[in-house]
Structures are given as C-alpha cells and as structure tokens.
Structure 1
Amino acid sequence: MIKKCLIGLVLAATVGVASAEAQTPIKIGVLNDQGGIYADLAGPGSVVAARMAVEDAGGKVLGRPIEVLVADHQGKPDVGANIARRWYDLDGVTAIVDVPVSSIALAVQQVAREKNGIALFSSASTSDIIGKACTPTSFQWTFNTASAARSTAQAVLKEGGKSWFFIAADYAFGRAMVRDATAVIGENGGRVVGTTWHPLGTTDFGSFLLQAQGSGAQVVSFVSGGSDFINAVKQSAEFGLAAGGQKIVSLQTFISDVHGIGLATAQNLLLTAAFYWDLDDATRAWSNRFAARMGGRMPTMAQAGVYSAVRHYIKGIAKAGTVDSVAVAAAMREIPVDDMMTHGAKIRDDGWVMRDLYLFRVKTPAESKRPWDYYELLAKIPADEAAPPRSPDCK
C-alpha cells in the first residue's frame, strides 16, 4: 500500500512538472531602436513582424505559448549588451532578433556566445557577424555589407562608374561596408579616390558633400542608415551632385528611406534588397497584412527578415524537440528556409542564409502609380552569386 502511494506521488509530481513546463512561455526578444534614427526601418514594425510570425505558427510550439518581448537599445552597445545579458540570464529569453546598428549587434553576439543563446540578426549588416565574430548559435538573416557591396557595386561598375568616393558612417557598419566595397571595386577594375567619415546622427552633411564634389569621383556612395542616409541624399540634391554628373549610389537602402526622401529626390537610385513588398503575390499578401497593422506603411526588408527569422526559429524548436540553443541551431540548418521572402534557402555553417537578392532602380514620380510603388526590378541575383564569401575567420 505504501509503495503504491509513493508511486502515485511520483507520478503526480511528474505530471505537475510537465504541466508547469507546458505553461512556461518560450520568450523571443526583439531588440532594436524604437524611437531613434533606425525606428522606421526596424523599430515597432519589427515587433509587429515577430508577432505575426508567432501567430502564423499557431502561438505555441512544443505545447508551450510563445511570448515576444521588446526592448530599446538606445543606440548604445553597452545598453544592448546589458539587455541581452538580462534577457538570457534572468528573463528566460531563448532568442534575440533584429538588432540594428552593427556595433550593438557585435556586442549582443558576444553575450550570446557567453550565454549560449540564439541571436538572429536581421537589421545589422557588418560581415564580421559571419566572420571573426561568428558563433554556432548566431545567424545573419537578411543582408550584409559584403553581399550588398558585391551586388550593387558590380552593377554600377558595369555601367562605367569606375572612380568612387564614400561618405560613410563612422562605426562598425560603415567601416565594414567600405572595406567590403573597396575590395569589390578593386577586383573589378575600379578605384576609390577618397572616403570621409561622418558621426552617427549628424544633421549637416555639407563638409562631407563638398569633399565628394571636389574629388571628381564618378560615383558618390552613401554608406549610412536611417535618418542619416535620408539627410545625406536630400542635401546632396541641394548641393547639386547628381546635377553635376556624379552618380549617387547607396550600398544599403530601405524602402522607409526612399519614402522619407521622396521619389523626386531618390529617383533612379540603384539599390540591392532582399525583399520588396510588391515583388510577387506572396510578398504582396504578407505585406498587406503587415500594413493593416502599421497604418498603411509597407515593410522594409529588415522587418520582413524578422518575420522570416522568427518563423524559422520556431520551426527549429519543433524539429529539435527542445529549446536548447545548440540543438535548435543545428535543426535550423537542417531545414530549408521557406516563406514569403525566402524560397528553399539553406543556412551555411557560419550562419548566413543563402538567399536571392534583387537589384532595383527607384522609380520616377511619373512611373509610380500608387502609394509605396517605388521600385523597378532590374535583376534577380541568385543566392550563390549574392552570398558573401565564406570567411576563414569563422572557426
């Protein structure tokens, strides 16, 4: 009788533990800029995208509810790293997603390494994420400096733009992009005649634009993001760079930037993107759902990438049968990434998603027929051509 009672108690305890675990949410943290210069390209829209991914997964995985947490890194690497540490250590977050600003992403990636956590970078673009800083549980989901440099720079070089001048943001993203683009330009017979570095959040680009104008370069390339990029392009029109015959090129452009600049100024800008809302039926259907929650704003490629990353992470948990980061990361690499923006893509061992990229031209005001009708597709760049080279620094 005593033995039967003990067995009953053990079974009851086991059922109780299992029941408690089933009610414990799996937490995914969206870490980005909620109100600063990167809020439009990521910000609240990335949170909406993450929650859409959770909803489309049924709101649960392994019988456990999925919860999305949100935090603002305030544009500071130490703040971002401290949030990541608290989330992994104390709040039960198993994956952090988005993380615009490359210097902050690298700080978060180091915390993810220490805490053995999943990191899914959709907005951070430095190629060091899959290079010297890579980890088995971190992924660069949407784009990076090397892939953007290869696709956009090669297209401009083919059109005869051989001499280049960079106006670049003076932090990890800008440094990596200029480094990667300079290599591509040199390999294809071009040359960089000068580079000037601007601080994050500057509002006056006058001195930088005068240097670019005076350089005589055929191509002036802006390597900035968010409102920095918008201000630089607007002021370049005031200084007459394009009117003077210099080609204006961006190596990283979001549709939110084009929206902020306006077609009258941004027209004919060449850019590469991993996603455009009006690319096909699947992108239109998803983007219209997103826009309905965002007051009519269409998603950027970074926001679409957050959806894709979160959706695939949930699939990885389901396949692994656990939230253990190493097991989930391995499962994610086994499953092809397949969603509205990604079609059967494999994930390399360094964490790069082997996705197609697209070369676009920004339409003129006369060519645009409806709101957010901004891009003309020039070419699809297959994943093998678009992919950044595998870095020997990733061990």
Structure 2
Amino acid sequence: MTILSRFFGPLVLGVAVATGAHAADPIKIALVHGLSGSTFEAFSKQSETGFELGLEYATNGTNAINGHPIEIIHKDTQFKPDVGRAVLAEAYGDDDVLLAVGATSSGVTAAMLPVAEEYEKLLIVEPAVADSLTGPDSNRYIFKTSRNSSMDMQAQALALQPDENLYVATLAEDYAFGRDGIIAFKTALEGSGATVVGEEYVPQGTTDFTAATERMFNALKDQPGRKVILVYVAGGGDPMGKIQAMEPERYGIELSTTGNILSVLPTYKRVPGMEGAVYYYYESYDNPINDWLVKTHEERFGTPPDFFTAGGMSAALAVVKAIETAETLDTDGLIEAMEGMSWDTPKGEMKFRPEDHQAMQSMVHFKIRVDPDVDWAIPELVRIIEPGEMTIPVGRNNQE
C-alpha cells in the first residue's frame, strides 16, 4: 500500500461520490523504478516516497489537480533494460498514462528513452543521473529533474579547489553513471592546472577494491603536490572504508567523494574533515518546502528525508505545476508549459533548460563532521553552490 493510498484513499473516493457522473477523469502517472533485483532498490523506494509526498504538498492534501484525481501506477523495471522498456510501453499503451517518472538506473533509463519517443509521451527522468540521458540520443519527450553527472563533478571540483598542485586518481563503476561522471570531472578540471593521473573502473557490485587501489597509490605516490583519490561509486561495497584501511596517508594521499544516502554515511566517519559535494542533505536547505518535507518525513517514518526523497518530491512538484499551467492536458501542452519552467523544490528553485530539458539546480559543498551522538557522518554545509557557478554542457538542442 502506498503513502497516498493510506492517507488519501478515502478522500479520493469521497470526491468521486460527491461529483457522481460529473467526476473528472483521473490523471494517470506511472512511477517506473527498479523495485526488485538490486541494492539500488532503496533509491527507488526513496524516490517514490518523495514523489507521493510531493503530490500531497502540491495539492494541499487533495491528491487532485484542477479537479482531476491523481492515479499512481507502479511499474518494476527489475533493474533490467529490456524489462524497463516493456513496462514503460505497457504504461503508455495499456494503462494510457499521461506521463511516466523514472527510472533508477542510468543504464535502464537510457533503454527507455526511445519508448517515450515511440509513444509520444513524457518521461520525467528521476533519479537517474548520467549526462547522456539528455544527450544526443535523447528526444523532446524527456525532461530530467534529477541532477546530472556534470553537476556532481563540477561541484566536486569546486569543493576540491583545484590548481596546478592537485593530482587526482579516480575510482568509478563501469557503467553510464560512473563513466559519464569521470568524463564530467575531467571536463570540470580543464583550465585549473590539476592533473588526473589514473582512472579505475570496477564492475557494479564490486566489494574488493584492493587491485584498483594499489594502482591508484602507484599513480599518485610520487607526485609532487596534493594527492587525492576521488571515489564516484553509487552502490555499496564500502570503497571509502576499504581504501582508507589500506592507509593512503602513508603516501600523503587524501580521499574525496560525493555525498550519499544516510545508510552509507556511517562509512564516512572514517574521513572526518573530508570535503566534497552532494545533491542534497536535509539540514543544508532552509525553505518552506524543505521544512515541511523534513517535519513530515520525521513524523511518519521516524527518520529525516534522504537523498532521493528530495528528488522524488522535486519531480512531483514539477509535474503538478506543469499540469496546472498547461493550456491543454496532453503531451504537447505539457512540453510547452515545461520548457523553461521554474518551480520551487526542497533544494530551492529549479528550472528546465529549454535546450535539453535538464533541470538546473544547486548543489551542496560539505565538510564531514563526526558527532558520536549521530549514527552517520554529517556532511556539514560549507556553502550552497548555485546553478550559475557551474557550466553544464548542453546535451541536446530540442529547439532545433
């Protein structure tokens, strides 16, 4: 049972009964995420919880937009590209949804892009990250509320304060998320004088980082300046802890990484003082939407909202504003409303760039603080990195 069905099922029924035969047709939205078959399932559940909370917030608890009740249809990609394509086609065709939101894996999402074009219906990408999802192989039906790899890496580069004395070796997973991220990181360093001395890519699900770490140590240890290993791994396996256990400090090597979900942050206690960049941390933003999200999530679930919860909420807020403001409730009307659209989120204002439909947004520069009374390491706010500080490449020109 979803959050919406628990909290608003009776309300939606009441609306239908009260209006009788004149009740507006429901607006059907598919949430297409991996719900089985991967450790990334936690990301999917956070995103879907955030989306449902976002609908609640944006509709003032009515679960209806312009008189149309919202019907959520859940689809499980099983983290398989072929399944992702099939269930998205099912949602567009058999279920006749207005739009879909997903998916979790960048690789699965990439396989879904042509399906949106085939059915001429919107796919709101959340929470997948890869730059390529709004790249040349994308299409006019794709909008992306999640951040992209360039945002991760440009923010990370700003947090590292690169110059000619910085030498970096990188560790990433060998798929779209990891490779796009390292390409973006190297692009972000251009002109700074910093040098990437080695790149290591490991299969998803890797738990033994020994060989890759030794190669990174060898590439860095004789460099004359500041030496950093950048870890860009979305999955488990605790690469930070395992690299730290190999004593990089004996070579004067530091570790740096982007932030992560709360269940992973306890591993960051091994690196107090480490600086990096993250998409969202619940204490970093001070605005009414984030205040509501934090308060509501803690009341209902006993924990703060996590990394992808904020993303799911941002997607829902975008969908509601688009439907409310579109002149016609169809794909073309929504596209017209969404290109260049700004809307408020737990992270502050986001804006869809008309050229490639990427949502431009802020990032958080953090410094790890360890508090023995907190279960996880705290990515304490250094400053908000505003969208204008980052030069995010345009992936596809939808205006041509």
TM-score, structure 1 length as denominator? 0.85
Partner of 1:274: 279
Task: Identify the residue that residue 236 of structure 2 maps to in structure 1.
Answer: 227
Instruction: Please state whether the residue corresponding to 1:358 is helix, strand or coil.
Output: strand
What is the Cα deviation at residue 225 of structure 1? 0.2
1:137 aligned partner: 141
Pick from 294, 306, 314: which aligns with 1:287? 294
Q: Is the 8 A contact 1:120 1:309 kept in 2?
A: yes
Q: 2-side partners of 1:295 and 1:91: how far apart?
A: 35
The residue that corresponds to 1:6 in the other structure is: none
Q: Secondary structure at the match of 1:379?
A: strand
Q: What is the SS of the residue equivalent to 1:221?
A: strand
1:291–1:299 Cα contact (<8 Å) kept: no
Q: Does 1:61 align with 2:73?
A: no
**What is the match of residue 296 of structure 1?**
303
Matched ranges for 1:147-186 at <5 A: 147-158=151-162, 162-186=166-190
Q: Does 1:237 align with 2:238?
A: no
CA distance in 1, matches of 2:169, 2:102: 30
Shift of 1:346: 5.2
Greater than 6 Å deviation, 4+ residue runs:
18-21
Q: Deviations over 1:1-39 (max 9, x none)?
A: xxxxxxxxxxxxxxxxx9879454222222223352223
Give me the whole-angstrom Cα distance separating, in 2, the residues matched to 1:105 and 1:21. 38
Larger Rg belongs to:
1
The one-letter amino acid of 2:134's match is I
Q: Deviation of residue 154 (structure 1)?
A: 3.2
**Aligned match of 1:128:** 132
Residue 84 (structure 1) aligned with residue 88 (structure 2): yes
Report if the CA contact (8 A) 1:168-1:222 is conserved.
Answer: yes
SS at match of 1:227: coil
Kept in 1, the 8 Å contact 2:342–2:350? The answer is yes
- Partner of 1:45 in structure 2? 46
1:357 corresponds in structure 2 to 363
Could you tell me which amino acid in structure 1 is paired with residue 214 of structure 2? L
> Shift of residue 60 of structure 1?
1.0
Checking the alignment, whether the CA contact within 8 Å between 1:221 and 1:248 is kept in structure 2 is: yes
8 A Cα contact 1:272 1:357, kept in partner: yes
Deviation at 1:247, TM superposition (A): 1.7
Q: Any idea what SS the aligned residue of 2:198 has?
A: strand
- Distance change in 2, residues 1:210/1:247 (3 Å): same
- The aligned residue for residue 7 of structure 2 is none
* Conserved? CA contact 2:159–2:276, under 8 Å: no
Preserved contact between residue 154 and residue 188 of structure 1 (Cα < 8 Å): no
CA–CA distance in 2 between the matches of 1:101 and 1:245? 35
**Offset of residue 63 of structure 1:** 2.0
5+ long unaligned stretches in structure 2: 1-18, 222-226
Aligned AA for 1:221? L
Q: Out of 246, 251, 261, which is 1:255 matched to?
A: 261
Identify the match of residue 331 of structure 2 among 309, 325, 329: 325
Match of 2:128, SS state, is coil
CA contact (8 A) 2:105 2:128 kept: yes
Gapped regions of structure 1 (runs ≥ 5): 1-17
Matches within 5 A, 1:21-32: 22-32=23-33
User: Structure 1 residue 313 and structure 2 residue 323: aligned?
Assistant: no
Q: How does 1:209-224 map to 2 (within 5 A)?
A: 209-216=213-220, 218-224=227-233
Cα pair 1:49 1:290 within 8 Å, conserved: no
Aligned amino acid, residue 367 of structure 2: R
Equivalent residues of 1:136, 1:349 under 8 A apart: no
- Contact 1:32–1:100 (8 Å) recurs in 2: yes
Q: Is the 8 A contact 1:157 1:185 kept in 2?
A: no
Q: Secondary structure at the match of 1:351?
A: coil
1:29/1:151 CA distance change after superposition, 3 Å: same
Aligned Cα RMSD in Å?
2.6
Counterparts of 1:95 and 1:256, CA distance in 2: 30
Is the Cα contact below 8 Å between 1:267 and 1:365 reproduced in 2? no
Query: Which AA in structure 2 matches 1:119?
Result: L
SS, match of residue 217 in structure 2: helix
CA distance in 2, matches of 1:209, 1:162: 18
Q: Which SS does the other structure have where 2:262 is aligned?
A: helix
Q: What amino acid does structure 2 have at the position aligned with 1:37?
A: T
Aligned to 1:7: none
In 2, the alpha carbon distance for the partners of 1:71 and 1:344 equals: 27
Distance 1:76 1:190, change over 3 A: same
Seen in structure 2, the aligned counterparts of structure 1 residues 349 and 236 have a Cα distance that, compared at 3 Å, is same
Which AA in structure 1 matches 2:228?
A: V
- 2:375 & 2:102 partners in 1: Cα distance? 26
Change (3 A) 1:328 1:258: same
Specify whether residues 360 and 161 from structure 1 end up closer, same or farther in structure 2 by C-alpha distance, changes over 3 A only.
Answer: farther
Q: Which residue identity does 2:297 align to in structure 1? A: F
Q: Deviations over 1:131-183 (max 9, x none)?
A: 21332221221311111111212331437762111111111111111111122
> Taking structure 1 as reference, are residues 76 and 356 closer, same or farther at Cα in structure 2, changes over 3 Å only?
same
Q: Distance in 2 between matches of 1:199 and 1:354?
A: 30
Partner of 1:11: none
